[in-house]
Chains A and B, each alone.
Chain A
Amino acid sequence: MGVEGIGARVTRKEDRRFITGKGRYTDDIVLKDTTYGVFVRSPHAHAKILSIDTTAAKAAPGVIEILTGADLAGDRIGGLICGWMIHSRDGTPMKAGAHPAIAHERVRHVGDQVALVIAETKAQARDAAELVEVDYEILPAVVDPARAMDADAPLIHDVAPSNLIFDWVLGDEEATEAAFAKAAHVVELDIINNRLSPNPMEPRSAIGYYDEAEEHYDLYTTSQNPHVARLVLSAFVGIAPEHKLRVVAPDVGGGFGAKIYIYPEETACLWASKRIGGRPVKWTSDRTEAFLTDCHGRDHVTKAKLALAEDGTFLALRSDTIANIGAYMSTFSSATPTYLHGTLLSGQYVIPAIFTNVKAVYTNTTPVDAYRGAGRPEATYIVERLVETAARQLGMDPAELRRKNFIRQFPYQTPVILTYDAGDFEANLDKALAAVDYAGFPARKAEAKTRGKLRGIGFSSYIEACGIAPSQAVGSLGSGVGLWESAEVRVNPVGTVEILTGSHSHGQGHETTFAQLVNERLGIGLNNVQIVHGDTDKVQFGMGTYGSRSGAVGMSAIVKALDKVEAKAKKIAAHLMEASEADIVIEDGELKVAGTDKKLPFFQVALAAYTAHNLPAGMEPGLKESAFYDPTNFTYPAGTYICEVEVDPDTGKTEIVQFVAVDDFGRIINPMIVEGQVHGGLAQGIGQALMEGVSYDPESGQLLTGSYMDYCMPRADDVPSFKVDHVTTLCPGNPLGMKGCGEAGAIGSPPAVINAITDAIGNNNLSMPATPAKVWAAINAA
């Protein structure tokens, strides 16, 4: 490893602009003649729109135009789509209702957009929005997924009777039930995986601009995957063909999944810009709008059970889940509770029989889609809560029960599709046990008792699947897109390098880690490498960043392109130095003839490629190569997390006194950045476990947690410093041996926290978020 190569803990190239206030986020961009859009949003969870009167609003100062769902329909602008087809157990396709960018005739959740007011200033637009008179006929609403299929629940989309979108199964039900029938022990749990709001700190924003002269659209947007946005807006929404639409995602202030999706506001701003004659239309969400309209995550209601033999060997697992999809099917909403969830129910364990059933339902709530972890946190929570509960029920040590059931042979085919390729689960566990000083726990618990505190310890041995899988495989499972990634490596004549990638950084540090890869391969200093991303005019194509895929998939594409660049550079060097191509090696930025002192600096080879004065016969000039990389499998990060808590029995308040995370991410490019990803994931997982929960009024469907006054975000004094360490088994499926580190923290931590609290208070009946009030009630119910 060089000082700037793979494995080096180098500081980030992108930081300078962020720490000096020079980052450029969407809302920072002001195009010439910008107008400002404000949406009139439904105050009701479910209602018919009887009429919309815009007369007074149109007369208000500064107002340019007011557009409604009827205008949108009149212009034949298409609705938003869900890009993953799921079939029910009876073979029928999922029942997706229409999702117009501006609601037409009916609103289905509080915050549903009803009209777009465009004015010269944002304040004028907001003033005028209040003058738009909408006459609603209020309909009954349902927000609880467990009640959505009730006979008396209101029907939200006519195409989906009983609000049931799909009734999906995975695994062998017969074998699973047979295993339960003869099991010595059965452990059962009712689980609610609480609904969360992702809350990237940068609110969403979009600027739509129609250039009348070029008949061309530009969209600046807070997106994790601008190319996918362009594809959907072209092919499905029908704004413009792809060559007439540029999508730019500049600096993006966090995503966590919430900025994967193609949102109504993007369509509306693009369409509106053309309607008003080509002035840019800019919309920026405020935080209240973000709570109402950014896709939420989780929201599963599950019955789960685990069958064990007398000695604690796992025999079978079953879960039956109702997944809340919200009022509309968001872009990947169907994949999250199915193939990103059911497939992970084997955890790190040999479980011979697994069966899961997921019923996805509409409710009158904000759409639900992938949020950091996406399905895998829900699966991990089921498995790890069951395992911990089983240990308690059987009187076994929770670490040893896990160890007894760990998978040890790889590759391992689970009963739920996935083939785990590599791992050393026992090494993760042992390292975590040592780091937490497990042997010392009883003494610490006793000491805490003298201070009136209840101390508990909880485990979670998670596995997740990320990178997302081979395109052919996901296609066969219903994905509408391939899940490869592309890269282009442009070597300039002076030897500097530009990497064009379809991955998108919104905090992950690609500008640094991708440059480290180039440094490792070509010996070029990080300052001579530029990472270009987030602009469909610059970058060939890409699938974006989510599912912890930028390293395992995005960097693999760069590796493939670099292979081609190296091969060509070697050919040129061999020609110039009159050596055999096979003898050329690249070291420290030089092309050397092995075993001799002949060498050429890389930049001279690059220059030679472009002057083309002396190239091998028949070779094209230039040194620029591109590649597409399609993954061969998911990658499987896994680890063991141990959480130690102290609970104040008088108030129910939990303090996390120790949190150990040992992860196996395969090859690590920059440990500093990887640790940062783990820290952030842990805080979000701890947030889910202790603090965060979206809450709706069950009758009115009003959002009760619409600001930081009520939605509890983790702050600095809510979380501890983390003890983070690694075990490394390389992923055999990609050239660098990388797995993925972006989501692990959020996937693995919630069950560790709840296992610790329930251990501390001696009552296993506790749901997330384990707020002080809930914990206090659980203590007093025990």
Chain B
Amino acid sequence: MATISLTVNGKAVTATVEDRTLLVQYLRENLGLTGTHVGCDTSQCGACVILVDGRAVKACTMLAAQADGSTVTTIEGLATGDQLHPVQAAFREHHGLQCGFCTPGMIMAAVDMINRRGGALDEQTIRHELEGNICRCTGYHNIVKAIQAASAEMAGMRQAAE
């Protein structure tokens, strides 16, 4: 058994888990954060993407023990109170989701992509950056539009802040 301490969505948590426990299992089963989903076994679909220490990772491909000491943000921790994150708002505004299952991973991947690259992103960049996230409903068309809009809005916000 491994004892782990980490910060999840701003809260400090400590737990003792089997060494083989995946981070996604810990989040879903121990913490009840069921917004992080599991859609495949081979680390490809991206439904489980979360931020660990600010970087997007696949929570199904990391042991909970590996995340000891880390800061984790899941989809549940993205909004500030009632205030949606610009990427969340853009997904709704541009119909970037249908069944909603891939959506948490898509949104977290988009947040990471925008944070990493900065600026307003073009379609080609977004499509390439989404290589690790599979959606079966939307044909990606409106996901791309949503991320494009969010990236432009966030670039504008950064500029305004500077």
How many residues in A have their beta carbons less than 8 Å from beta carbons of B?
Answer: 56
Which A residues, 16 to 51, have Cβ-Cβ distances below 8 Å to chain B? 16-25, 27-28
Which B residues, 82 to 116, have Cβ-Cβ distances below 8 Å to chain A? 84, 88, 91-93, 95, 97-104, 107
Check if B144 sits within 8 Å of A676, measured CB to CB: no
Complex CA gap A676/B103 in Å reads: 15
Known pairs A28-B34, A202-B99; A717 contacts B39 (CB<8 A)? no
Q: Which residues of chain B have C-beta atoms less than 8 A from A509's C-beta?
A: 98
B140 interface residue, CB < 8 Å from A?
Answer: yes
- CB contact between A287 and one of B39, B74, B84, B123 (< 8 Å): that residue: B39
Q: Which residues of chain A have C-beta atoms less than 8 A from B38's C-beta?
A: 27, 203, 286
Q: Which residues of chain B have C-beta atoms less than 8 A from A253's C-beta?
A: 37, 99-102
22 pairs, A vs B, C-beta closer than 8 Å: A11-B93, A18-B100, A18-B104, A21-B78, A27-B38, A28-B34, A123-B18, A251-B99, A253-B37, A253-B100, A254-B101, A509-B98, A679-B140, A707-B41, A707-B42, A707-B44, A716-B133, A716-B135, A716-B144, A717-B128, A719-B139, A719-B140
Check if A11 sits within 8 Å of B95, measured CB to CB: yes
Complex CA gap A675/B98 in Å reads: 12
Check if A20 sits within 8 Å of B98, measured CB to CB: no
- CB contact between B35 and one of A21, A287, A288, A707 (< 8 Å): that residue: A21
Of A90-98, A516-524, A680-688, the segment with at least 4 beta carbons within 8 Å of chain B is: A680-688
Check if B123 sits within 8 Å of A708, measured CB to CB: no
Known pairs A20-B35, A21-B34, A721-B144; A713 contacts B100 (CB<8 A)? no
Check if A19 sits within 8 Å of B98, measured CB to CB: no
- CB contact between B97 and one of A18, A24, A707, A722 (< 8 Å): that residue: A18
A138 interface residue, CB < 8 Å from B?
Answer: no
Residues of A within 8 A of B (CB): 11-12, 14-25, 27-28, 123, 199-203, 251-254, 256, 286-288, 506-509, 672-673, 675-676, 679-684, 707-709, 713-717, 719, 721-722, 745
Q: Which residues of chain A have C-beta atoms less than 8 A from B88's C-beta?
A: 19-20
Which B residues, 17 to 69, have Cβ-Cβ distances below 8 Å to chain A? 18, 20, 28, 33-42, 44-45, 47
Tell me which of A24, A27, A28, A254 has the highest count of chain B C-beta atoms within 10 A of its own C-beta: A254
Check if A676 sits within 8 Å of B42, measured CB to CB: no
Q: Which residues of chain B have C-beta atoms less than 8 A from A28's C-beta?
A: 28, 34
Complex CA gap A721/B98 in Å reads: 17
Q: Which residues of chain A have C-beta atoms less than 8 A from B47's C-beta?
A: 201
B158 interface residue, CB < 8 Å from A?
Answer: no
Q: How far is the CB of A669 from the nearest CB of chain B, in Å? A: 14
Check if A721 sits within 8 Å of B41, measured CB to CB: no
Q: Which residues of chain B have C-beta atoms less than 8 A from A18's C-beta?
A: 97, 100, 103-104
Complex CA gap A507/B107 in Å reads: 17
Q: Mark B135-160, 1 if CB is under 8 A from A, else 0.
A: 11111111110000000000000000
Known pairs A202-B101, A676-B98; A21 contacts B136 (CB<8 A)? no
CB closest residue in chain B, given A722: B141
Check if A20 sits within 8 Å of B131, measured CB to CB: no
Q: How far is the CB of A662 from the nearest CB of chain B, in Å? A: 16
Q: Which residues of chain B have C-beta atoms less than 8 A from A22's C-beta?
A: 35, 76
- CB contact between A680 and one of B36, B78, B104, B138 (< 8 Å): that residue: B138
Q: Which residues of chain A have C-beta atoms less than 8 A from B131's C-beta?
A: 715-717
Q: How far is the CB of B39 from the nearest CB of chain A, in Å? A: 5
- CB contact between B45 and one of A252, A508, A672, A708 (< 8 Å): that residue: A708
CB closest residue in chain A, given B141: A679
Check if A716 sits within 8 Å of B45, measured CB to CB: no
Q: Which residues of chain A have C-beta atoms less than 8 A from B136's C-beta?
A: 199-201, 254, 256, 680, 684, 713
Check if A287 sits within 8 Å of B98, measured CB to CB: no
Check if B139 sits within 8 Å of A254, measured CB to CB: no
Q: Which residues of chain A have C-beta atoms less than 8 A from B103's C-beta?
A: 18-19, 23
B121 interface residue, CB < 8 Å from A?
Answer: no
Check if B39 sits within 8 Å of A203, measured CB to CB: yes
CB closest residue in chain B, given A673: B95
Check if A21 sits within 8 Å of B33, measured CB to CB: yes
Check if B107 sits within 8 Å of A679, measured CB to CB: no
- Dominant secondary structure of chain B at its interface with chain A: loop
Q: Which residues of chain A have C-beta atoms less than 8 A from B120's C-beta?
A: none
Check if A716 sits within 8 Å of B143, measured CB to CB: yes
B2 interface residue, CB < 8 Å from A?
Answer: no
B8 interface residue, CB < 8 Å from A?
Answer: no
Check if A254 sits within 8 Å of B40, measured CB to CB: no
Q: Which residues of chain B have C-beta atoms less than 8 A from A679's C-beta?
A: 138-142
Complex CA gap A12/B95 in Å reads: 8
Q: Which residues of chain B have C-beta atoms less than 8 A from A286's C-beta?
A: 38, 40-41
Q: How far is the CB of A672 from the nearest CB of chain B, in Å? A: 5
How many residues in B have their beta carbons less than 8 Å from beta carbons of A?
Answer: 54
Residues of B within 8 A of A (CB): 18, 20, 28, 33-42, 44-45, 47, 74-76, 78-79, 84, 88, 91-93, 95, 97-104, 107, 123, 126-128, 130-131, 133-144
- CB contact between B40 and one of A23, A287, A673, A675 (< 8 Å): that residue: A287
Check if A507 sits within 8 Å of B135, measured CB to CB: no
Tell me which of B44, B47, B138, B140 has the highest count of chain A C-beta atoms within 10 A of its own C-beta: B140
Q: Which residues of chain B have C-beta atoms less than 8 A from A201's C-beta?
A: 37, 39, 45, 47, 99, 101-102, 134-137
Known: A11-B95, A507-B98, A717-B128. 18 other contacts (CB 8 A): A12-B95, A18-B104, A19-B84, A19-B88, A20-B79, A25-B34, A202-B99, A252-B99, A253-B37, A254-B98, A287-B40, A288-B41, A672-B95, A676-B141, A679-B142, A683-B138, A683-B140, A716-B131
Check if A21 sits within 8 Å of B74, measured CB to CB: yes
Complex CA gap A708/B47 in Å reads: 13
Q: How far is the CB of A718 from the nearest CB of chain B, in Å? A: 9
Q: Which residues of chain B have C-beta atoms less than 8 A from A256's C-beta?
A: 136
Known pairs A20-B75, A21-B75, A676-B98; A715 contacts B134 (CB<8 A)? yes
Q: Which residues of chain A have C-beta atoms less than 8 A from B100's C-beta?
A: 14-15, 17-19, 23, 251, 253, 507
CB closest residue in chain A, given B75: A21
Tell me which of B75, B78, B97, B107 has the highest count of chain A C-beta atoms within 10 A of its own C-beta: B97
Known pairs A201-B45, A679-B141; A708 contacts B134 (CB<8 A)? yes
Q: Which residues of chain B have C-beta atoms less than 8 A from A676's C-beta?
A: 95, 98, 137-138, 141-142
Check if A200 sits within 8 Å of B134, measured CB to CB: no
Complex CA gap A251/B37 in Å reads: 13
Q: Which residues of chain B have C-beta atoms less than 8 A from A15's C-beta?
A: 91-92, 97, 100
- CB contact between B41 and one of A12, A287, A506 (< 8 Å): that residue: A287
Complex CA gap A358/B100 in Å reads: 38
Q: Which residues of chain A have C-beta atoms less than 8 A from B99's C-beta?
A: 200-202, 251-254, 506-507
CB closest residue in chain B, given A509: B98
Q: How far is the CB of A673 from the nearest CB of chain B, in Å? A: 7
- CB contact between B20 and one of A12, A123, A675 (< 8 Å): that residue: A123
Q: Which residues of chain B have C-beta atoms less than 8 A from A200's C-beta?
A: 99, 101, 136
- CB contact between A19 and one of B37, B107, B123, B126 (< 8 Å): that residue: B107
Please list the 3 inter-chain residue pairs (A to B) with the smallest Cβ-Cβ separation, ordered nearest first: A21-B35, A253-B101, A18-B100
Q: Which residues of chain A have C-beta atoms less than 8 A from B133's C-beta?
A: 715-716
Q: Which residues of chain A have C-beta atoms less than 8 A from B130's C-beta?
A: 715-717
- CB contact between B92 and one of A19, A27, A507, A708 (< 8 Å): that residue: A19
Complex CA gap A251/B44 in Å reads: 23
Complex CA gap A24/B37 in Å reads: 11
Q: Which residues of chain B have C-beta atoms less than 8 A from A745's C-beta?
A: 139
Check if B44 sits within 8 Å of A708, measured CB to CB: yes
Complex CA gap A682/B84 in Å reads: 30
Q: How far is the CB of A130 from the nearest CB of chain B, in Å? A: 15
Complex CA gap A11/B95 in Å reads: 7
Q: How far is the CB of B132 from the nearest CB of chain A, in Å? A: 9
CB closest residue in chain A, given B35: A21
Q: How far is the CB of A456 from the nearest CB of chain B, in Å? A: 21
Q: Which residues of chain A have C-beta atoms less than 8 A from B135's C-beta?
A: 201, 716
Check if A683 sits within 8 Å of B101, measured CB to CB: no
Check if A709 sits within 8 Å of B42, measured CB to CB: yes
Q: Which residues of chain B have C-beta atoms less than 8 A from A254's C-beta?
A: 98-99, 101, 136-137
